[in-house]
Amino acid sequence: MSEGQIKKFMYVNRKAPHGTVYALESLEVVLIAAAFDQDVSLAFMDDGVYQLKKGFNTKGIEVKNFQPTYRALDDYDINKLYVEKEALEARGLTQDDMVVPVEVMSRAEIGKLMETQDVVLSF
């Protein structure tokens, strides 16, 4: 890879937003990659779709609510957010339940998109 070459990174989020560090760690890594001008996209699959569900209230579990950071992604030119259609349907959610604009894709479509990436990291 030559210096300055942009790589395509996809971050796949499969875990619920709380109970583990995966969701927050993924978000931090995404912001770092974007700071280095890489082509960043995020896919939310399985329980990862809950990371974008409107209405986080973390007061009862006494952890910081990091969901507002998703609204800042556009400021970092991160606007390729994909949500798995099957995961939304299985959880009774729709695109309108998401806190930021997303593209809903089938699991198979996301799989094909993954094949076009240089790096795929799963959280």
Instruction: Pick the closest to residue 45 from 3, 81, 76, 87 (CA basis).
Output: 87
Greater model confidence, 94 or 65: 94
Span 67-86, mean pLDDT? Answer: 91
What is the tally of structural domains in the chain? 1
Least confident stretch, 11-20, 30-39, 55-64, 73-82: 55-64
Least confident stretch, 8-12, 58-62, 98-102: 58-62
Cα 115 to Cα 89: distance, rounded to the nearest angstrom? 24
- On whether residue 58 sits in a domain, the answer given is yes
pTM: 0.90
- On whether residue 83 sits in a domain, the answer given is yes
Task: Look at residue 113 and give its three-state secondary structure.
Answer: helix
The parent domain of residue 64 ranges over: 8-122
- On whether residue 108 sits in a domain, the answer given is yes
DSSP structure class, residue 100: S
- On whether residue 21 sits in a domain, the answer given is yes
Question: What is the per-residue pLDDT across 106-117, written as a single tens digit (0 to 9) for each?
Answer: 999 999 999 999
Side chain identity at 85, as an amino acid letter?
K
CATH number of the domain enclosing 85: 3.40.1260.10
Greater model confidence, 51 or 64: 51
Residue with tokens 């809950």: 50
3-state secondary structure 77-91: CCCCEEEEHHHHHHC
By the 8 A CB rule, do 76 and 31 touch? Answer: yes
- On whether residue 113 sits in a domain, the answer given is yes
The pLDDT value recorded for residue 71 is 86
- On whether residue 2 sits in a domain, the answer given is no
Least confident stretch, 3-7, 14-18, 93-97: 3-7
Number of Cβ atoms within 10 Å of the Cβ of 32: 11
The pLDDT value recorded for residue 39 is 94
Please name the residues in contact with 51: beta carbons below 8 A apart, sequence gap of 6 or more. 13, 16, 17, 23, 44, 67, 70
- On whether residue 38 sits in a domain, the answer given is yes
Cα 74 to Cα 76: distance, rounded to the nearest angstrom? 5
- On whether residue 33 sits in a domain, the answer given is yes
